[in-house]
Amino acid sequence: MLDAGHGGHDSGCRGAFSNEKDVTLSIIKKLGALIKKTYPDVKVIYTRETDTFVELFERANIANRNHADLFISIHCNATKSLTAYGTETWLMGLHKSEGNLDVSRRENDVILMEENYEENYDGFDPNSPEGYIILSMNQNAHINQSINLASKVENEFSKDSRQSRGVKQAGFLVLWRTTMPSILIEAGFLTNRQEEKYLNSEIGQNEISLSVLKAIVEYKAEVEGDFSQLKLVTEENSEERLIADTSANIYVKQANNSDTISETPNKTIIDTASKANSGIIYKVQISASENLISLKDARFGGIEDIIIDKNAKEINHYVVGNYSSLQDCQNRLAILKKKGFKDAFIVAYKDGNRIPINQLP
Ligand SMILES: [Zn+2]
């Protein structure tokens, strides 16, 4: 499910010469075309394919009615500070800072242009901070996979010389009632002159959609335990890429914000078995949480070889098994999915550090 932010009489944020609604639509169409080309069997659905107004709740409804497997919303950012730039990928949750709240508030404000918004959003008031706390209680069922996909998107942006501002959480109405893993990508700042040019350029839009595609491919490969699809995206077959790096390199790196949920590989605290092994170790991740959950908790169903991988600072990953053979791990994944861990996926480690699966030898 692909969602181009805003549309029709809702222009979204504005840059010096462009509107968010037009940039998001161009990017989403390019992304849709790339997905279709990569996976001819995957059904791509759009919330809008033209410059039309679609209510936020209706965007979620379209996804739910179609039983979408993923919900990806593309937006552009804006701030008063004209120097801010870079990408952010959001998932539903409680904001940890005023800055995060501001982003969701800006994206939610559009409901004031909708008819009957009080009815459609259970009386939610985009200007009341309390409303956001209630709002954030949803979407926990898929938080594991949403974080996973969001981290991959930000990781791909980083690899493409974009400034990743990280994975963040806040209460977005468009993600509120979706019943599948759902993310909202702020692809860059229209209020930054250079980034506005990039976001409006053919090269920039191609790069952004290619980064998101790569993240989807990695995500799908993990969830399905089928790593052969990683070969579907190579630099050679993405002619969309052009000679893009020169334009992207104007974005120099800057320090990440502290309120992000980062899955950038840090030092991994992991069991000694995999540390001692110099090769690749595969495990199945069955859950993730910000607050520590006891391994004896009923929701883990008494699995004995479960451990907590702390490779992401602020998130606890619950991983199962310890396999040097991918096939063995794939078998375990199938068993765990049958047991009800439908969100489970395969993760890989080298020398005790979690490594992105597209960096496997
Ligand atoms: Zn927006």
Q: Is residue 264 included in any domain, yes or no?
A: no
Closest CA to 226 of 38, 357, 41, 359: 357
Q: Is 276 contained in some domain?
A: yes
- Tell me how far the alpha carbon of residue 220 lies from the centroid of ligand 1, in angstroms: 26
Please check whether residues 153 and 35 belong to one and the same domain. Answer: yes
305 strand-pairing partners: none
187 Cα to the center of ligand 1, angstroms: 10
Q: What is the pLDDT of residues 136-191, one digit of tens each?
A: 766 567 888 999 999 999 999 999 889 999 999 989 999 988 999 999 999 999 99
**Average pLDDT score, the chain:** 84
Question: 57-111: per-residue pLDDT in tens?
Answer: 999 999 999 999 999 999 999 999 899 999 999 998 888 888 888 999 999 999 9
Instruction: State whether 102 and 137 are in the same domain.
Output: yes
CB-count exposure of residue 120 (10 Å: 0-12, 13-18, 19+)? middle
Based on the domain organization, do 238 and 290 belong to the same domain? no
Name the strand (E) or helix (H) holding 73: strand 71-77
Lowest mean pLDDT among 180-184, 295-299, 311-315, 332-336: 311-315
Contact status, residue 185 vs residue 172, Cβ threshold 8 Å: no
278 and 200 housed in the same domain: no
Of 129, 108, 130, 125, the C-alpha closest to 59 is 108
- The CATH number assigned to the domain holding 143 equals 3.40.630.40
Query: Does residue 18 form part of some domain?
Result: yes
Contact 149, 183 (CB under 8 A): yes
Determine the distance separating the centroid of ligand 1 and the alpha carbon of 162, expressed in angstroms: 19
Q: Is residue 244 part of a domain?
A: yes
- Between the CA of 212 and the centroid of ligand 1 the distance, in Å, is 17
Give the domain extent around 160.
Answer: 2-248
One domain, residues 236 and 276:
no
Give a yes or no: residue 262 inside a domain: no
Query: What three-state secondary structure class fits 231?
Result: helix
Quote the pLDDT of residue 249.
Answer: 35
| Last residue within a domain, chosen from 248, 263, 282 | 248
Judgement on whether residues 90 and 165 belong to the same structural domain of the protein: yes
Whether 261 maps to a domain, the answer reads no
Once rounded to an integer, what is the mean pLDDT over residues 4-25?
A: 97
How many helices, marked H, and strands, marked E, lie in the chain? 12, 10
Structural element, H or E, at residue 286 = strand 280-289
- Cα of 265 to ligand 1 centre, how many Å? 29
Question: Rounded to an integer, what distance in angstroms lies between the CA atom of residue 287 and that of residue 319?
Answer: 7
Residue 186 CA, ligand 1 centroid: distance in Å: 8
* Ligand 1 mean position, distance from CA 287 (Å): 29
**Side-chain half-sphere of 284: how many Cα atoms within 13 Å?**
28
Rounded distance from Cα 5 to ligand 1 centre (Å): 5
Point out the domain boundary residue: 248, 282, 308.
248
In this structure, the answer to whether residues 230 and 300 fall within a common structural domain is no
Q: Residue 137 C-alpha to ligand 1 middle, in angstroms?
A: 22
* 347 Cα to the center of ligand 1, angstroms: 32
Residue 310 lies in a domain: yes
Planar angle of CA 350, 263, 250, nearest 5 degrees? 105
The answer to whether residue 260 sits within a structural domain is no
- pLDDT at residue 265 greater than cutoff 60: no
Distance 330 CA to ligand 1 centre (A): 39
CA 10 to centroid of ligand 1, rounded, Å? 10
Distance (Å) from CA 170 to ligand 1 centroid: 14
**Rg of the chain (C-alpha set):** 20
If you measure from the C-alpha of residue 76 to the centroid of ligand 1, how many angstroms do you get, rounded to a whole number? 5
Same domain, 212 and 330: no
Tell me which of 130-134, 204-208, 223-227 is least confident: 130-134
Q: Identify whether residues 56 and 174 lie together within a single domain.
A: yes
CATH of the domain at 347: 3.30.70.1070
Ligand 1 mean position, distance from CA 110 (Å):
9
Cα of 104 to ligand 1 centre, how many Å? 9
3-class secondary structure, 30: helix
Instruction: Classify burial at 296, counting beta carbons within 10 Å of its beta carbon; exposed 0-12, middle 13-18, buried 19 or more.
Output: exposed
pLDDT of residue 139: 53
Based on the structure, what is the number of domains in the chain? 2
Start-to-end CA distance of the chain, whole Å, equals: 32
Question: Are 180 and 300 in the same domain?
Answer: no
Residue from 215, 197, 196, 184 nearest 75 by CA: 184
179 lies in the same domain as 326: no
Give yes or no: residues 233 and 134 share one domain. Answer: yes
C-alpha 290 to ligand 1 mean position (Å): 26
